[in-house]
Amino acid sequence: MPPYIPGVNAREVIRLLRRLNFSESEGGNHTVFRHQRLGLATFVPRHRGDVDPVTMGSILVQIGLTRAEFDEARRRRGRIPERFQE
């Protein structure tokens, strides 16, 4: 079961994925993010309010990011894991 990660809004998730070098394409109420070099992809809902905690956990599983890496990377000047750097 994916981790339960409450209190993260879609704008913050989108900002983080951009920092991790994911490219985006929009479609409907979701944005698709892909990392070409690593072959990873995930969908981020663009709804008001926070992303569902279980959905947020699933996004982290899909992109291969641990909770600790997520917490570090979401800080304003947090460290980005090396595997995501170009």
pLDDT for 13-65, tens place per residue? Answer: 999 999 999 999 987 889 999 999 999 999 999 888 899 999 999 999 999 99
Do the domain assignments include residue 39? yes
Neighbours of 47 (CB within 10 A): 12
Q: 29 lies in a domain?
A: yes
Total domains in the chain come to 1
Task: Report the alpha-carbon distance of residue 56 to residue 65 in Å, rounded.
Answer: 11
Strands, sheet with 40-45, edge to edge from the N-terminal-most edge strand:
23-27, 30-35, 40-45
86 or 33: which leads in pLDDT: 33
For residue 50, the cross-strand partners are 9
| Cβ-based neighbours of 67, under 8 Å, separated by 6 or more | 3, 5, 60
81 belongs to a structural domain: no
Query: Where in the sequence is the domain holding 60, given as residue range(s)?
Result: 10-76
Other Cβ atoms within 10 Å of 26 Cβ, number: 9
User: What pTM was computed for the model?
Assistant: 0.89
In a domain, 18, yes or no: yes
CATH number of the domain at 70, please.
3.30.920.30
How many whole angstroms separate alpha carbon 21 and alpha carbon 16?
9
Does residue 37 lie in a domain region? yes
